[in-house]
Amino acid sequence: MNAWLLLLPAAVLLVAFTHYPILATIRHSLFISRRNGTEVFVGLDNYRSMAADPIFWKALINNFWFALGTIPTSIALALLMAVWVNRNMRGRGFLRLAYFTPTVLPMIAVANIWLFFYTPDYGLLDQLRGLFDLAGWNWLGSPSTVMPCLIVMVIWKEAGFFMIFYLAALQQLSPDLEEAAAVEGASRWYTFRRITFPLLMPTTLFVAINAVINSFKLVDHLVIMTKGGPNNASTLLLYYIYEVAFTFQDSAYAATLTVVLLVLLSTLALLKFGYLDRRIHYQ
Amino acid sequence: MSAIKLDHVSKHWGTMRAVDDVSLTADEGALLVLLGPSGCGKSTTLRLIAGLEQPDGGTITIGGADVTGLTPAQRKISMVFQSYALFPHLSVAENIVFGLRVRRMPRAERETRLKRVADIVGLGQLLDRKPSQLSGGQRQRVALGRAIIAEARVCLMDEPLSNLDAKLRHEMRTEIRALQQRLGMTMVYVTHDQTEAMTMADRIVLMRDGRIEQNGTPEELYNRPATAFTARFIGTPPMNLIAQGERLVGVRPEHIRIVSQDGHAARVRTVEHLGADSIVLCDISDQPVSVRQDGFIKASPGDDIRLAWDASHEHLFDKESGRRLETAAGEARLVASG
């Protein structure tokens, strides 16, 4: 009895804010709401119309490219920067701080800074282009460049954050290991490949899971910078859910889309716990 | 040729002189122990020999070749770290052959060598395990295996036994010494444990504050300590030093007898029974003196006893400088008998 009482605060929070909302969302996705507030059971009708919705597929494919563009690059950059600042050098503290700045800045401010970079004609990028007598370009207004522009910004924002995790992990590694490898004649690259990187795998996995979740979570920048446009070229799944729920007020369809997002993320979680964890060495 | 020679080697960090003008030679095939209290510079000296630190002055030669500017790998040495530095994600076998793989040795030869080394260090059954699945002694053996598989002529050991329990430490001590002699390696062995030094070494270099306090064979350090510091460091319990005016009179506990008359008056403080012998801790005019006696001594705290020793067993040191005084009467006799 006492044990259950001690569990109660955590259990209440989990049930109220995680488990119940998930079940409610799944239930909600099987109904449609009438204007008068009543709900009608429609089975899988919502899912059928979702499968026929071109914007849903567009958002899903966009999200796939967005994830592919941001995750590997930001992780690689984070690792590179962490290895670089993980040694004694002048201005190390300043460098570490500089890398971490994007994480500290409020997201709305970040979006506005980048909005200025990408502004046609007098934005930073176009002014640079102007130096080479190139015409202005509407970076965020062209379907061909809007996605790469967002990807670059997100990499800039995420890499510094992930670097902190890598830096912490690197400092946990005993310097003896590197020295032992050096005595055995291993080059720095060999040591990195066979010793350091494998020992950082738990961090890499953690960072990768975070990166995937973040790539499905991005909303604020889209609201400020593109509103999903032009022609849905920058609509990501969660932004579409936000639009359906709060702009189109179709909560049943939003619930259906949310279920898809949930399934995607829980599949990834299962993959982590079921497969990857067994192949990674934990200290 | 694998003799190691340090010539006026120094290393400092800021104003801290970690290693201060150290010169020493480890003969080919010999085991040289760097002994001293923590912070005396013995580990730094070893790291300088390994090439993990660069000296601020002086030269280091291995087998006659100047290696001062070379990387650890170029010096062709092997090393055992205090923490063992095993790669936690690699199996025992992978750990041992790590260096061979770095040097791209063909698989067949790698396997042959691995088998031989696994037999030597007794790890044949454990090759597929990860280091975390091994006991402390087994990890120590993996580190040893990794050090000897390359068949380097020089092996450096940094307090390799300090993480083991007393019984295992005693076993491994014998084993490492036997291995070193069997393979004919030149070994530099760092420890703060004078028992390890006395039992294993061909030559002991006792260090203090980055400088060499005394460099000699175990017998020399025991029989003719050059300073009061050495006298206090060697022996269990160490030499008693009794102040007499400007001098310190040193007598080893095993050279003191309990007598019924004459000698010095002393009062017993405690008695430690070790089985084969007993250590009696007493005071001679408020200066602590320990006495080693065979068997089981029946004395209790507060007893008044009398202590005596032969003049030939006295070591005299200058109280100010701590240096040995050669004027003692017993000196000539000691040299003649030793």
Select from A173, A177, A184, A282 the residue whose CB has the most chain B CBs within 10 Å, as the one to mutate to test that interface: A184
Neighbouring C-beta atoms of residue B96, cutoff 10 Å: 29
Cβ contact, residue pair B72, A183, below 8 Å: yes
Cβ contact, residue pair A176, B81, below 8 Å: yes
Does A40 have pLDDT greater than 90?
Answer: no
Cβ neighbours of residue B117 closer than 8 Å, sequence gap 6 or more: B96, B145, B148, B149
Contacts of A185 in chain B (CB under 8 A): 72-73, 99, 102-103
User: Judging by DSSP bridges, how do beta strands B154-158 and B186-191 pair with one another?
Assistant: parallel
Cβ contact, residue pair A185, B79, below 8 Å: no
Which is higher by pLDDT, A52 or B328? A52
pLDDT attached to residue A135: 75
Contacts of A182 in chain B (CB under 8 A): 52, 71-73
pLDDT attached to residue B327: 56
Nearest CB neighbour to B73, from listed A176, A183, A195: A183
- Put residue B208 in one of left, alpha, beta given phi > 0 → left and psi -120 to 50 → alpha: beta
Tell me the domain boundaries of chain A: 61-279
For residue A283, name the pLDDT band (cuts at 50, 70, 90): low
pLDDT digits (tens, 9 = 90+) for B95-123: 999 999 999 999 999 999 999 999 888 88
pLDDT attached to residue B334: 45
pLDDT attached to residue A160: 87
pLDDT digits (tens, 9 = 90+) for B17-56: 899 999 999 999 999 999 999 989 999 999 999 999 999 9
Cβ contact, residue pair B99, A185, below 8 Å: yes
Mean pLDDT of B82-106: 93
In terms of CA atoms, which chain B residue is nearest residue A175? B85
Q: Is the distance from CB of B317 to CB of B242 less than 8 angstroms?
A: no
pLDDT attached to residue B332: 46
ipTM for the predicted complex comes to 0.82
Distance (Å, rounded) from C-alpha B230 to C-alpha B219?
12
Does B317 have pLDDT greater than 90?
Answer: yes
Cβ contact, residue pair A185, B78, below 8 Å: no
The CATH label, of 1.10.3720.10, 3.40.50.300, 3.30.70.380, 3.40.50.1000, for the domain at A61-279 is 1.10.3720.10
pLDDT attached to residue B33: 96
Contacts of B72 in chain A (CB under 8 A): 179, 182-183, 185
Mean pLDDT of B274-279: 90
Contacts of A181 in chain B (CB under 8 A): 87, 98, 102
In terms of CA atoms, which chain B residue is nearest residue A188? B102
Mean pLDDT of A76-101: 84
For residue A214, name the pLDDT band (cuts at 50, 70, 90): confident
pLDDT digits (tens, 9 = 90+) for B136-169: 889 999 999 999 998 889 999 999 998 888 888 8
Distance (Å, rounded) from C-alpha B92 to C-alpha B105?
18
Does B333 have pLDDT greater than 50?
Answer: no
For residue B335, name the pLDDT band (cuts at 50, 70, 90): very low
Sign of CA dihedral B181, B187, B188, B192: negative
Residue A19 sits at the vertex; the CA angle it makes with A15 and A21, to the nearest 5 degrees, is 105
A4-13, A103-112, B179-188, B313-322, range with the lowest pLDDT: A103-112
Nearest CB neighbour to A176, from listed B78, B83, B99: B83
Q: What is the mean pLDDT of chain B?
A: 90
Among the listed residues B200, B201, B211, the one whose alpha carbon sits nearest the alpha carbon of residue B21 = B211
Q: How far is CA B81 from CA A105, A176, B47, B312, in A?
A: 44, 7, 10, 43
Mean pLDDT of A133-156: 83
Q: Mind telling me how many Å the CA of B276 is from chain A's nearest CA?
A: 42
Contacts of A190 in chain B (CB under 8 A): 102
For residue A178, name the pLDDT band (cuts at 50, 70, 90): very high
Q: Could you give all domains of chain B from N- to C-terminal order, each with its CATH number?
A: 4-221 (3.40.50.300), 226-337 (2.40.50.140)
For residue B194, name the pLDDT band (cuts at 50, 70, 90): very high
Neighbouring C-beta atoms of residue B132, cutoff 10 Å: 12
